[in-house]
Amino acid sequence: MRFAVTYRVVAADLVEARARANDIAVEQTVEIPREIVPGGYVEDEILGRVEAVEPVKDAFSVTVSYANADVGGDFLQLLNVVFGNSSIKTGMRVVSVDLNDELTGLFPGPRFGRSGLRAMLGVPKGPLLMSAIKPVGLSTAELARTAHRFALGGMDMIKDDHGLVDQASAPFKERVAACVDAVHKANAKTGGKSIFIPNITGTAKGFFERALFAKTAGAGAVMVAPALQGHAAVQELAADPEFGLPIVSHPAFSGANVIAPANGFSHRFYFGQLQRLMGVDAVVYPNFGGRFGFSIGECQDIIKGCTDDFGPYAPILPTPGGGMSIESAPGMAEIYGEDVIYLIGGALLREWDDLEGACRRLANAVGRTG
């Protein structure tokens, strides 16, 4: 069976675009000059096949198909076939992938997805709310107190800042235990179902140990930065039946993958399709209008990647964050609708004297009822 990848390719004209398309087909598979590709299996199956070359705005859309046999069941080799060496060529960008049942059967995707997260949080409709405990350098007690107050204010998901790892000021195990407890105590008061979401990082081996510790300690989900930890590690954690919690993905260290429009990956692929392929349930990314430079169009591209039909994979929740405020929240509803997690950190922490009230004002501002 074959699967297809669509690229955006910069070229002066159709002739050059076709040449670059053939180049991708060779580079991503056999990586030897075309004229010495062995006939038979290698040429007929392994060699990439150019399926389409069409002009699009300021560039060309190129679709190349590849054999499942080249992937060999290896998640990283799938990524390598999609965009290994070609990532280093100028003016080539991955737009989207179209997989097949045999491949998607190997990588189970989101365990919870949008509907699973809503069920866990007891919020069947309306936007979900997330905040973050921070900054690094506070003690475990201070961070746990913040988590407690966010939960009292009705935030559905309270996550670690992505810079919280195992610093001496708030060691991982101590922090997770204290924050889970703080959120549970708030739930007991409010009747809510807020969850605590620790940031999981560490060595290749330690990563899994921390994730399992978080589960045992009562965390509701975990957060991982795939560009730091590695995309296979996230895929493996999501697929691990012993783990079985939702995964929130953080964009730290990933900026270069999307930021140059002619290279890297489309927002739709990187923050949408790839996340679902890994098994992520909610993907954090910088919202438009905040302190990062994503446009409304790029954010809509992410929504598409999170929710479009994509094999057997459930839709997941876009989680825009970064510089949001209570004031800017209503405008976001027009873009995101109901199926979104609003991540607001700094803007709530500014209201420390009445943090719980600020959380409720945020809920009102985004039209969250109940």
Residues 292-331 that bind a second copy (CB under 8 A): 292-293, 322
Pick between residue 123 and residue 349 the one whose CB is nearest to a second copy. 349
Residues 6 or more apart whose CB falls under 8 angstroms from that of 177 comprise 217
Q: Where are the alpha helices (DSSP H) in the chain?
A: 14-27, 41, 68-71, 75-83, 101-104, 113-121, 140-152, 172-190, 206-216, 226-229, 231-239, 256-259, 267-268, 274-278, 296-307, 329-336, 346-349, 355-365
- Answer yes or no whether residue 14 interacts with a second copy by CB under 8 A: no
Minimum CB separation from a second copy for residue 258, in Å?
A: 8
Distance of CA 75 to the CA centre of its chain: 16
Which amino acid type is present at position 29?
T
135 counts as binding a second copy under rule CB under 8 A: yes
Judge contact between 354 and 318, C-beta under 8 A: no
Q: Does 212 bind a second copy (CB under 8 A)?
A: no
State in angstroms the smallest separation of the CB of 119 from a second copy.
29
With binding defined as CB under 8 A, does residue 7 bind a second copy?
no
| Pairing mode of beta strands 128-133, 157-160 | parallel
Q: Give how many residues touch a second copy by CB under 8 A.
A: 85
Q: How far is the CB of 171 from a second copy (least distance, A)?
A: 9
Among residues 24, 25, 81, 344, the one that binds a second copy under rule CB under 8 A: 81
Which one of residues 145, 163, 184, 361 is an interface residue with a second copy (CB under 8 A)?
Answer: 163
Is residue 241 a contact residue for a second copy (CB under 8 A)? no
User: What would the two tokens of residue 39 be?
Assistant: 């006939």
Of these, 14, 19, 88, 188, which contacts a second copy (CB under 8 A)?
88
Of the residues 4, 37, 296, 314, which one makes contact with a second copy according to CB under 8 A? 37
Q: Is 87 in the site for a second copy (CB under 8 A)?
A: yes
Residue 136 Cβ vs a second copy, minimum distance, rounded to whole Å: 5
- Alpha-carbon span 313 to 277, nearest angstrom: 8
Among 220, 286, 311, 318, binds a second copy (CB under 8 A): 286
Does an H or E element contain 52, and which? strand 49-56
- Report if residue 141 touches a second copy, rule: CB under 8 A: no
Least distance from a second copy to the Cβ atom of residue 200, Å? 10
Question: C-beta of 166: minimal distance to a second copy in Å?
Answer: 5
Which residues 94-133 are close enough to bind a second copy by CB under 8 A? none
Q: How many helices (H) and strands (E) does the chain have?
A: 18, 12
Q: Which of residues 180-209 bind a second copy (CB under 8 A)?
A: 201-205, 207-208
CB of 3 to a second copy, least distance (A): 15
Q: How far is the CB of 193 from a second copy (least distance, A)?
A: 27
Q: What gap in Å lies between CA 200 and CA 211, rounded to an integer?
A: 6
Give the number of other CB atoms < 10 A from CB of residue 290.
17
Exposure string (b/e) for 325-360, b if CB count within 10 Å is 16 or more? ebebbeebbebbeebbbbbbbbbbbebeeebbebbb
222 binds a second copy (CB under 8 A): no
How far apart, in whole angstroms, are the C-alpha atoms of residue 112 and residue 188?
Answer: 25
Among 49, 184, 231, 361, binds a second copy (CB under 8 A): 231
Q: Is 90 in the site for a second copy (CB under 8 A)?
A: yes
